[in-house]
Chains A and B, each alone.
Chain A
Amino acid sequence: MTTARIDARFASLKAEGRAGFVAYVMAGDPTRDQALEILRGLPAAGADIIELGFPFSDPMAEGPPIQRAALRGLKAGLTLKGTLDLARAFRDGDADTPLILMGYLNPIESYGHEAFARDAAAAGVDGVIVVDCPPEEADPLTDALDAAEVSLIRLATPTSDDARLELIARRTSGFVYYVSVAGVTGVKEAQSASVAPAVERVRKASGLPVAVGFGVKTPERAAEIARVADAVVAGSVLVDEVAAALEAGTSPVTAVLARVQALGDAVRGARVTETV
């Protein structure tokens, strides 16, 4: 069962007594081949889990960095099918790192729920995050993913009250993604003090590990979150490395992996200094 990969990874993180680092990159950014090279380099650079964005023309919950990354991906010709091919190419060389697809519903609708679930499972995808598919609308997709044994990973937010958390936790598996700010990706930074109790609430409601994302840009910030969450997600800051490298005429692969290394190291070291 493919969801086993996520569970195994969180179990080993727990055994190590540390939080995991989740790296988000965009399929096809800046080209298919370079994106594959980045994907293949991520585990060694320090990514415990990979989120692979599939481009959508209208990413309504993204800030400018991921909007631009999606445009680069689309320009490189990456369709959802192309993203699945990329996932499979990654999986051929890595049997253990959980791989989560993240994006918007319409490309999946267009592909067909069942066909998508089947092909995602076959490509070695462990979970899917669909930004614009709240629990109220998720049953058809969840049915298809369940049948293919792929997790639908849900989002919890600062606006989720207890009743909503209960709804969010239904029919989810793997982990819950806590969006730490009300806003788009890559813009605002959450108040640190508010993250710990929120993570606790989500953990309690779901019984699942909680990954925290949105607004994680620096190693210091990543370490802060790593002290209270089960995993830390960074995305905008990574895709911005691609943009900066393209601008400077340097290697996007090297730039992204170096940034992953710095953030991953911070996450790994975060709890060492902890005395409790």
Chain B
Amino acid sequence: MNAIIPNQYAMPDVEGRFGPYGGRFVAETLMPLVLELNQAYEACKADPTFQAELDDYLTHYVGRPSPLYLAQRLTDHYEAANIWFKRDELNHTGAHKINNCMGQILLAMRMGKKRIIAETGAGQHGVATATVCARFGLQCVVYMGAADVQRQSPNVFRMKLLGAEVIPVTSGRGTLKDAMNEAMRDWVTNVEDTYYLIGTAAGPHPYPAMVRDFQSVIGRETRVQMLARREKLPDACVAAIGGGSNAIGLFHPFIEDAGVRLIGIEAAGRGLDGPDHAASLQGGRPGVLHGNRTYLLQDDDGQILEGHSISAGLDYPGIGPEHAWLKDLGRAEYRAATDAEALEAFQLCSKLEGIIPALEPSHALARIGEIAHEVGKGGDVVLNMCGRGDKDIFAVAQHLGVEL
């Protein structure tokens, strides 16, 4: 168990609550499944052979550990703290999503499930799910908002190549939240053989804790690597936040280290003062959606609003419940970056570091200069480079008015 949770911060409680957040707000039909999943996951956590098998695949299939890289030219550019990239974009499939998918697919197989369903926004989680399903010979169905199918067509093709069935979702505005609704409808209909592989640290318990645990490999490696390189912990850890899985994966192993600032960057879209953003923590209020209580973008009547972001991976109107709790505690700080700032950071990083980032971490990159200045020269700031930008070049070209 220590292999999965290396510290004493003991959240969530047995009911899956992080203070007032989290929980299991699902239809009665799903309750026995959610409880069974929790039991199965607890059994895997306690089983060293499970962790050994997962570690083996993470090493030889995913390509872990990912490097911790000193972004020297970006550091020079800002003339402040050292900026380090945790290179999770170098993982197989090009993002952090596969860390979680590998863990959950091994769990699903132990539970005897043959059919895997998933939701996807940018398509990264869909690709990662389709990848592990191909690797282990399981049927894979991915729900994806029809709007996202349009703006992320390369990932749709990838999923199909990997043998997955991609179902475009037209309800709502056709984005991530609607895909999640549809996946839950599939799950409640196919209770016997289907495993729902949720891609972010949200949903009914145990998903927020489980996805966090599988993603915490990011923070655990960062800790070891930073100690080896600098003989100290980082001064700040920075990550982009949609549902929040890459951020919680980086943050979690540092939660008890009071000297390490944890900073999540939400998508401010066209600005936090208008309706077109996806910053649930800064522009929303607590409510219940998709199985958990957390901060949500919603109107006065409790109707959920559609988030907006240039990044299809961030425009989700909710946020993992642990982030809601860390915000209320004041243990993590949350800021935001607009579409325009993310686009600018995307280009700067490409030019200075030779790394084309995904639009998701570009939001974190947009705030990294000011954070580096706050930390100051000689300090160390780690940014989770949670995905590579290959999938985004068409969208970026369009925004920049370039015809490909």
A positions within 8 Å CB-CB of B: 55-63, 67, 74, 79-81, 104-111, 131-134, 136-137, 154-161, 164, 168, 179, 182-184, 187-188
Contact = CB atoms under 8 A, between A and B. Distances in A.
A137 B24 contact: yes
Given A157-B29, A168-B28, A106 B304 contact: yes
Contacts of B72: none
B33 interface: yes
Nearest to A79: B301
B181 A58 contact: yes
Given A61-B185, A160-B32, A109 B27 contact: no
A51 to B, nearest CB: 16
A60 B290 contact: yes
A58 B185 contact: no
Contacts of B190: 182
Tell me whether chain A's interface is mostly helix, strand or loop, or mixed.
loop
Contacts of A55: 303
B397 interface: no
Contacts of B25: 105, 132-134, 137
Contact of A110 (B26, B189, B291, B300): B300
B298 A60 contact: no
Contacts, number: 116
A109 B184 contact: no
B23 interface: yes
A69 B293 CA distance: 26
Interface in B169-197: 171-172, 177, 181, 184-185, 188-191
A136 B189 contact: no
Contact of A106 (B23, B30, B171, B289): B289
Contacts of B138: none
Given A60-B184, A60-B185, A105-B288, A134 B31 contact: yes
A182 B191 contact: yes
B296 interface: yes
A131 B27 contact: yes
Contacts of A168: 28
Given A132-B27, A179-B29, A81 B301 contact: yes
Given A79-B301, A106-B288, A106-B289, A184 B28 contact: no
B29 A57 contact: no
Interface of B: 15, 23-33, 171-172, 177, 181, 184-185, 188-191, 286-291, 293, 296, 298, 300-304
A271 B184 CA distance: 37
B181 A164 contact: no
B303 A74 contact: yes
A105 to B, nearest CB: 5
A182 to B, nearest CB: 5
A58 B31 contact: no
Given A109-B288, A159-B30, 15 more contacts: A56-B303, A57-B172, A58-B172, A58-B290, A60-B27, A61-B184, A61-B188, A105-B25, A105-B288, A109-B286, A136-B24, A157-B28, A159-B32, A160-B32, A168-B28
Contact of A136 (B15, B185, B289): B15
B116 to A, nearest CB: 18
Contacts of A182: 29, 188-191
A136 B38 CA distance: 14
A160 B29 CA distance: 7
8 contacts: A61-B185, A132-B26, A132-B288, A132-B291, A134-B25, A137-B23, A157-B28, A187-B189
A57 B288 contact: no
Nearest to A156: B28
Given A80-B302, A187-B189, A159 B288 contact: no
B298 to A, nearest CB: 7
B188 A57 contact: no
A81 B389 CA distance: 46
B176 to A, nearest CB: 12
Contacts of A106: 287-289, 296, 298, 302-304
A131 B301 CA distance: 17
B289 A58 contact: yes
Nearest to A83: B301
Given A60-B181, A109-B302, A188-B189, A155 B24 contact: no
Nearest to B291: A132
Given A182-B191, A183-B189, A184-B185, A58 B304 contact: yes
A74 B305 CA distance: 13
Contacts of A79: 300-301
B301 A107 contact: yes
A155 to B, nearest CB: 4
A136 B31 contact: yes
Nearest to A136: B24
A238 B290 CA distance: 27
A107 B293 CA distance: 13
The residue among B15, B24, B28, B287 with the most chain A CB atoms within 10 A of its own CB is B28
A154 B28 CA distance: 9
A187 B186 CA distance: 12
A63 B182 CA distance: 10
A41 to B, nearest CB: 27
Given A159-B29, A183-B188, A107 B302 contact: yes
Contacts of A58: 172, 177, 181, 289-290, 304
A108 B181 CA distance: 19
Nearest to A107: B302
A184 B301 contact: no
A105 B294 CA distance: 13
Nearest to A110: B302
A164 B301 contact: no
